Structure 1
Amino acid sequence: MRRGAAGRDGGSAGGPREQVFSFWIPMTYCEEDFFKEYLKMMANIIVLNALICISLVFWIVSMTASTYYGTLRPISPWRWLFSILIPLTIATQGFKKKSLDHSGALGGLVVGFILTVANYSFFTSLFVFFVTSSKLTKWKKDIKKQIDSEYKEGGQRNWLQVLCNGGVPTELAILYMIENGPGEIPIDFSKQYTASWMCLSLLGALACSAGDTWASEIGSVMSKSKPRLITTWEKVPVGTNGAITFVGLLSSLLGGMVVGIAYFITQLIFVTDLEVSAPQWPIIVFGAAAGLLGSIVDSYLGATMQYSGFDQNIGMVVNHQTKDSKHISGKPILDNNAVNLFSSIIIALVFPEGLGRSFNLADWCNLGQACCTDLRTQGRV
């Protein structure tokens, strides 16, 4: 009987079963793994219930404000829940994959929440920008480590980088909600000028950031030709602020276009009165143009107001002056974050007034098509 008991407890019949102490409960390693998974599942359930409660509280507040003021539209509890849950999930995944650090994840959560509540088209544009930028940052990272003196594994963007890339869209989203209230609208300058201007301004800021990121991450490793400084057109080392290549410019155009496509598709899904509004396809053209010109503005600011020098010891371009660095271009006025911020501000302010008229041009195109159709039916063409 004693041998049998010994065999069950730890003898050769059952093999050794080591016990560990997890919290206050003695258990095997297998049981501990199960216990950890159980705790993780319960934590997720608790977080989800908390988010549902928070979204209901926000909904009650919006209903109360709507009843009190009379002119405000209440926000549905599902919109509140989506606006909290999805940005939280994305920020958590970004932190786990080292695309964001602690402060960056918190800042991204705030930016994502505000943009999602305001307009789902804002959210999808931000989402596409963040995902593509994070993927491209990790793409060919071994090469980038050799040419970028400030390269970080995965990107690890902090709150300041999130603010400089997402601060302008966040402010515009808040102004949009004050002007129009939360919800999706067709971009139509003839009917809703101010709200349409804000939508294009926000899209331009995100497309500008996407274009600059795509140009930096793709152009630096894919271009076969040496980059040229945008101000003097001289050949400079890879990594110089303000240097451009054809591959980089093309990448910036594609980056802005992808953000514009995301906005356009969301418009098709969620906007209900598109048939009586201006055509929305110029959004894609606008995004591409904002990405390209935003990258050019960023390069010009970087070439003139951001220091670039070649450090002989490490064999790389540096953004700050050292005793072993040889000056290439720019003055130490702005850093990279400030350049990104000013670029997005310039595009957000200037672009909607200029290219925003393309929506009116689209109306002229439709009018021309209608005239041609009438002429054909009359046998004149």
Structure 2
Amino acid sequence: MTSTLRRAGGFAGVGTLALAAPSLGSAAFAPFAAVALLAAFVIDDGPLFELFARPGDRKDGRLNGLAGFALAATGLALLATIPRVKLPMSIFVASVLMLAYGNLGAKLVGERFADDFLTTAGFVAGAFLAGTFGQVAVASISNTPPLLPRFAFLAVLGGLLAALLRTTLYERDDPLVMVSIAFVLWGVQLLAGPVSTLEAAFGIGLTVALGYAAYAIGTASIAGMLTGVFLGLLATALGGIGWFVVLISFFGIGGLATKFRYDQKESRGVAEENEGARGTGNVLGNSAVSLVAVVGFATTQTFGHELGANLFVLAFAGSVAAAMSDTLSSEIGGLFDNPRLITSFERVQPGTDGAVTWQGELAGIVGAAIVAGLALVLLPLPSQLAAAAVLAGGVVGMTVDSLLGATVEGAGLGNQAVNFLATLAGALGAMLVWLPL
């Protein structure tokens, strides 16, 4: 057993102290506060120090990593026991356990397999099992009904978020990961409706299937895959299965379009980098607006604002339509000759920012129409005419992307920012077209 695996086991043991929180009540913070004090001021040598010490800790002669982990848990425990705040005890316990056992799962897999995807899968699996168990344990101790589908859904959502954050942060940033899990799951629990067994099974099953498929065929990096599946599950939690399908349709069709005749596009200088595997930045650039829209929809649903809910549905569908339209326009249009700059219609070289072809524009319109059709069937659009507004929003977003590419992209505005603005234009376009209807 390596020292890193032993250390992960030690942290998991400390995290298990969270299970005592429901019984301790207002003193739930005490075990973690004690661990933080011992780590920061008492344990500076010996077997315990060697068990928990990270490389930087040996240099400082202090268990900074363990102290930070315990202090983050202490803060969450206090939030869970302050009457006017009341972070749900189940969320507190699950957040601590998910991070601790997610790290342990990753190290266990890493001992046998030198594969980043499998290590990430080990993290998510460990976090999922520990998070589900923690919530069930709190329900049992508190004599409340064990809502297993909801617990499982929140656990897989938290596991994906933690794994995603771990791809961009260092091990010393574990306290930030723990707090992020707690606050995101707290928000989801406040805004989401009941989770059925079907929704939980659907979400978890597709998490495994789509995550593996996206990585296996190279349409997304590990971070990009985690981001896309996390956003899809968040859409399921706050909107429903239909929202998941609409959003994932963009990731699936857009990813396949990127890989379509990739070698030919590469030879023409118009192919996506990294062999077409989209990373977190690209996924967020195309999906940040839809994320805000689904959170806005859930919020207006919670507080009963019908007009606001309708507008957010249109914003969500319009932004996804814009992302789909722009992606298909670029990936299909890049295969054809004689592109013209959208601002002047002069002929330019393939791959020039802001260049369009009629074949690409047609593909973009078809992409927007696909999303509009899915939205009509799967989303609570305010009327059938609203599907036309979604189609219009997609075309508007595609056009804005080309205009920005021809004018400002590369001169202080990167591709991800352009994608964000294009999807924002798609969302606003859908809403503005629908209002007169």
TM-score range (shorter-chain normalised) is 0.5 to 0.7
Does the 8 Å contact 2:353/2:406 carry over to 1? yes
Distance 2:251 2:394 in 1: 15
Q: Which residue of structure 1 lines up, in the alignment, with residue 375 of structure 2?
A: 263
What's the CA shift for 1:125?
Answer: 1.1
Report what 2:289 is aligned to. 168
Change (3 A) 1:147 1:166: same
Listed one character per residue, the Cα deviations across residues 306-332 of structure 1 (whole Å, up to 9, x for unaligned) are 23xxxxxxxxxxxxxxxxxxxxxxxx2
Q: 1:90: Cα distance to partner?
A: 1.1
Distance 1:57 1:251, change over 3 A: closer
Q: What are the within-5 Å matches in structure 2 for residues 73-88 of structure 1?
A: 73-88=193-208
Give me the CA root mean square deviation: 3.3
Question: SS at 1:236's partner residue?
Answer: coil
1:340 match = 419
Residue aligning to 2:6: none
Partner amino acid for 1:356?
Answer: W
2:214 pairs with 1:98:
no
Cα offset for 1:201? Answer: 0.2
**Residue number in structure 2 paired with 1:56:** 148
Aligned partner letter, 2:405: G
Aligned letter for 2:416? N
Preserved CA contact (<8 Å) 1:134 1:154: no
Say whether the 8 Å CA contact 1:214–1:248 is kept in structure 2.
yes
CA drift of 1:109 comes to: 2.2
- Higher helix content, 1 or 2: 2
Partner deviation per Cα, 1:127-159 (whole Å, 9 max, x = no partner): 211111111111112210112266346511111
Instruction: Measure how far apart 1:114 and its partner are.
Output: 0.6
Q: What do the CA deviations read for 1:266-299 (whole angstroms, capped 9, x no partner)?
A: 24xxx7xxxxx9542x243233222221111000
Distance in 1 of aligned mates of 2:206 and 2:431: 32
1:351 is matched with which residue? 429
Calculate the TM-score normalised by the size of structure 1: 0.62
Report the equivalent of 1:146.
267
Alignment CA distance shift 1:165-1:151 (3 Å): closer
Whether 2:332 is the aligned partner of 1:218: answer: yes
Report the number of matched residues: 267
2:320 corresponds, among 200, 206, 214, to 206
**Whole-Å Cα distance in 2 between the matches of residues 242 and 56 of structure 1?**
50
| CA distance, structure 1, for counterparts of residue 149 and residue 391 of structure 2 | 40
For 1:218, the aligned partner's letter is: I
1:241, 1:299 within 8 Å by CA — same for their partners in 2?
yes
- SS at 2:334 equivalent: helix
Q: What residue is the counterpart of 1:245 in the other structure? A: 357
> Is this contact kept in 2: 1:207–1:255, CA < 8 A?
yes
Task: Supply the distance in 2 between the matched residues of 1:178 and 1:74 (Cα, whole angstroms).
Answer: 15
How far apart, in 1, do the equivalents of 2:238 and 2:192 lie?
A: 13
The amino acid of 1:235's aligned partner reads R
CA gap 1:142/1:305 in 2 versus in 1, 3 angstroms: same
Given that residues 392 and 430 in structure 2 are in contact (C-alpha distance below 8 angstroms), is that contact kept between their aligned partners in structure 1? no
Equivalence for 1:35: none
**Unmatched tracts of structure 1, length 5 or more:** 1-42, 186-190, 272-276, 308-331, 362-381
Match of residue 14 from structure 1: none
Residue 158 of structure 1 pairs with residue 279 of structure 2: yes
Bigger CA radius of gyration: 1
Q: Between the two proteins, what is the percent identity of the paired residues? A: 26
Contact 2:211 2:225 in 1 (8 A): yes
Tell me, yes or no, if the aligned pair for 1:88 and 1:109 is still in contact at 8 Å.
Answer: no
Larger proportion of strand: 1
How far apart in 2 are the matches of 1:220 and 1:201?
28
Whole-angstrom CA distance in 2 between matches of 1:151 and 1:72: 36
CA contact (8 A) 1:219 1:248 kept: yes
Deviation of the 1:165 alpha carbon: 0.9
Q: Give the Cα–Cα distance (whole angstroms) in 2 for the partners of residues 347 and 278 of structure 1.
A: 17
Distance 2:403 2:374 in 1: 28
Gaps of 5+ in 2: 1-121, 136-146, 155-185
How many angstroms apart in 1 are the aligned matches of 2:375 and 2:345? 35
Larger mean Cα displacement after TM superposition, 126-135 or 207-216: 126-135
Distance 1:87 1:356 in 2: 33
2: CA distance, partners of 1:108 / 1:87? 10
Secondary structure at 1:167 match in 2: helix
Distance 1:333 1:153, change over 3 A: closer
- Aligned partners of 2:404 and 2:418 also within 8 Å: yes
* Relative contact order, higher structure (CA 8 A, sep 6+): 1
Alignment of 1:4-153 (within 5 A): 50=129, 56=148, 58-59=150-151, 73-119=193-239, 120-148=241-269, 151-152=272-273
Distance 1:166 1:61 in 2: 21
Q: Distance in 1 between matches of 2:281 and 2:260?
A: 23
SS of match in other structure, 1:342 = helix
Which residue of the partner structure matches residue 399 of structure 2?
A: 296
Amino acid at match of 2:412: I
Distance 1:122 1:98 in 2: 24
- Using a 3 Å threshold, how does the CA distance of structure 1 residues 296 and 60 change in structure 2: closer, same or farther? closer
Matched to 1:251, the amino acid is A
Once the two structures are superposed, what CA deviation does each residue of 1:3-54 show, in whole Å capped at 9, x if it has no partner?
xxxxxxxxxxxxxxxxxxxxxxxxxxxxxxxxxxxxxxxx9xx88x949768
In structure 1, the residue matched to 2:307 is 193
Could you tell me which amino acid in structure 2 is paired with residue 100 of structure 1? A
Residue by residue, what CA displacement relative to the aligned partner does 1:85-144 show, whole Å, maximum 9, x if unpaired?
Answer: 323421221011111111111211221111111222221111211111111111112210
Q: Distance in 1 between matches of 2:341 and 2:317?
A: 28
